[in-house]
Structure 1
Amino acid sequence: MHAGAFEPVRGVDDLYVHDTGMFDTDEYGAVYVYDTDRPIVIDTGTGGNREALFETVEEIGIGREELEWILATHAHLDHAGGAGHLAERYPNAEVLVPEKGVRHLVDPEALVRGTKSAVGDQWEYYADPAPVPEDRISGLTEGDRIDLGERELVVHEAPGHAPHHAVYHDPDADVVFAADAGGIYVPETDEIVATSPPPQFDLNQCLDDIQTIDDLDPEYVCFGHFGPREYDPALAGEAKRAYVEWVEAVRAKREELSDDDAVVDHFETASRDLDYWNPERARANANLNTRGVLAYLDYVADEE
């Protein structure tokens, strides 16, 4: 699949995955469209390529007046940056996001500042988010259910990646929309890589979130990056190991170098060995993920 394209999710009726073309990397940004009785778009991308998403929704057969829900897994702008733009396009759709993310989508100014600081030059791939009107958005908490007509999504809070993160489970189709809660599954290398952005990444909570997904034991899991795949229970162990080893690698390098900037530089340099996304994005991800772990290690030290 390539930027702007979409295809059915094999094994799940009425579910489609749209490639946003995020960061000029095919399949890096996955948006899901569920053509149920009450149609829903799950995550929105940065909003930068929203016209292509509008075309996908139309080609699937969902009219502008028919979309019921715009659902964000969390408020980070690579997943929810297009929420306000979709709300403008689809006047009858209600925006849903975990409760702690509501304020960020209603007034995204602080989130934009934080994102610009975190991603640096990568901001060129984002669009300025449109605020979501307060009367068009609702917050979600553990156990809430989203009515899709003949189906429903059950909300499970998953705050390890960010406090405003949740995963959504469709028990009938046996599919979980995991976003970043289970790490990033990279099809090209058949591995899970950790995602640990600042400022509130929490290793122990991430491990609990991975266990939440595993306890649901879905048949399919829809990742927020690089799309869906059949679920294998071995993924949980691989994901946990990836997170623990990643945090330990940053911890060890900090002890060796005693300079956080040097630690970040080290992992940015190491990212040149990655070939499943463009070099610019690999460096940006390494920078972001390293700084997230460093902030987590500081938090743990302060708590001791």
Structure 2
Amino acid sequence: MAIGDLASVPGTDIHYVDVGAFDVPGYGSVYLVDAEHPAVVDPGLGTNVDLVIDALDDRGIDDLEYVLTTHVHLDHAGGAGHLLDAHPEATVLTHEIGVPHLMDPSRLVAGTKAAVGDQWQYYVDPKPVPEDRIESLADGDTVDLGDRVLDVVHAPGHAPHQVVFHDRGDDVLFSGDAGGIRPPGADELFPTSPPVNFDLETCLDDAATIAERNPERICFGHFGDAAFTPDLMDEYAEILSAWIDRVREVRADLDTDEAVIEHFAETATPVEPWGARKTRAEYRLNARGALGYLDADGD
């Protein structure tokens, strides 16, 4: 699947476009739910919002009603304000903790720049979402799209403002980052542990919550959809725990946290189709977040 390509989730009216996040294929998927009340799930960075608009046009969706964000990290929600410009009747729905950050994204921008370093070159400044075009969500809420209902499930391990959406009609779950990262064609999931709010124990709880939901298919923010069994989240829990253990071990052998971060970046095996540059950046981000977790955990 190349940047700009549109794919469909089997047996559903759900589609996704590769928006070329960070200028690589296979990292950023934006979902279009072609429902009675159409929705976009996680509009992405905003850098290539034209690809989302083109995908909506391709599917004949000219009456977008909702922009849903699993969480407000800018690689998932940074395009929300830009997409509203193209669809003036649409409303953004996000967890109540994230609402003020999308209305005034200045703190999000500052935190993202600190976390991602030179990867900021692949972002665009988010546009503030007007107060009258955003509504808050909480655990246990539902989103009525007319011919289907999405359950809203709080999943705060990756970030306190994260939820997952479970489409009970098609039995598809949009996992954001709660279920890990799935590079196209990879044999196993890839961990995600970004600063500053990553918490291992809560992430493991979130994986267990997804397993309990046991959807037929899971839609990853990074990247695309897959058939689901609860074993997938058991595997992710093991992968994520092993990653934190490895960071702990390397930290014990090196003098500084920056040395730990660079160790993982420089020894990383390139993940395809991301290539070496994006793989190194991903490891830097994840190592920084893992170190922050270990500090908070007193380790």
Shorter-chain TM-score category?
A: over 0.9
Q: Does 1:120 align with 2:117?
A: yes
Unmatched tracts of structure 2, length 5 or more: none
2: CA distance, partners of 1:206 / 1:27: 23
* Partner-residue secondary structure (3-state), 2:81: helix
Deviation per CA, 1:196-241: give whole Å up to 9, x if none: 0001100000000001110001000000012001112221111000
Partner of 1:40: 39
Per-residue CA shift, 1:102-139, capped at 9, x if unaligned? Answer: 11110001111111111111111111110000111011
Which aligned segments of 4 or more residues in structure 1 are displaced greater than 6 angstroms?
A: none
Deviation of the 1:274 alpha carbon: 3.5
Tell me by how many angstroms 1:273 deviates: 4.4
Matching of residue 50 in structure 1 with residue 49 in structure 2: yes
Equivalent residue number for residue 211 of structure 1: 208
* Separation in structure 2 between the aligned mates of residue 274 and residue 167 of structure 1, nearest angstrom: 26
- Give the distance between the partners of 2:273 and 2:53, measured in 1 at CA: 27
Counterpart of 1:84 in structure 2 is: 81
For residues 34 and 272 of structure 1, the distance between their equivalents in structure 2, rounded to whole angstroms, comes to 35
Partner of 1:229: 226
1:181 paired residue among 158, 178, 183:
178
TM-score (norm 2): 0.97
User: Which residue does 2:152 correspond to in 1?
Assistant: 155
Could you say what secondary structure the match of 2:83 adopts?
A: helix
Aligned residues: 299
The answer as to whether partners of 2:26 and 2:184 remain within 8 angstroms in 1 is no
**What is the distance in 2 between the residues matched to 1:88 and 1:148?**
21
Matched, 1:246 2:243: yes
CA-atom RMSD in angstroms: 1.2
SS at match of 1:167: strand
Q: Give deviations 1:128-156, integer Å, cap 9, x for gaps.
A: 11000011101110011101001010000
**Distance in 1 of aligned mates of 2:172 and 2:298:** 38
Does the Cα contact within 8 Å between 2:25 and 2:273 map onto a contact in 1?
A: no
What residue in structure 2 maps to residue 105 of structure 1? Answer: 102
Q: What CA distance in whole angstroms lies between the structure 2 residues aligned with 1:274 and 1:39?
A: 34
Q: Greater shift after overlay, 266-275 or 175-184?
A: 266-275
What corresponds to 2:10 in structure 1? 10
User: Which of 60, 67, 72 is 2:69 aligned to?
Assistant: 72
Structure 1 unaligned blocks of 5 or more: none
Query: What does residue 140 of structure 1 align with?
Result: 137
TM-score by length of 1: 0.96
Once the 2 structures are TM-superposed, how far is the Cα of residue 89 of structure 1 from its aligned partner? 1.2
Instruction: Give the Å deviation of 1:33.
Output: 0.3
Q: Is the 8 A contact 1:24 1:278 kept in 2?
A: no
SS at match of 2:297: helix
Identity %: 49
CA contact (8 A) 1:6 1:17 kept: yes
Is the 1:175–1:222 contact (alpha carbons within 8 Å) kept by the matching residues of 2?
yes
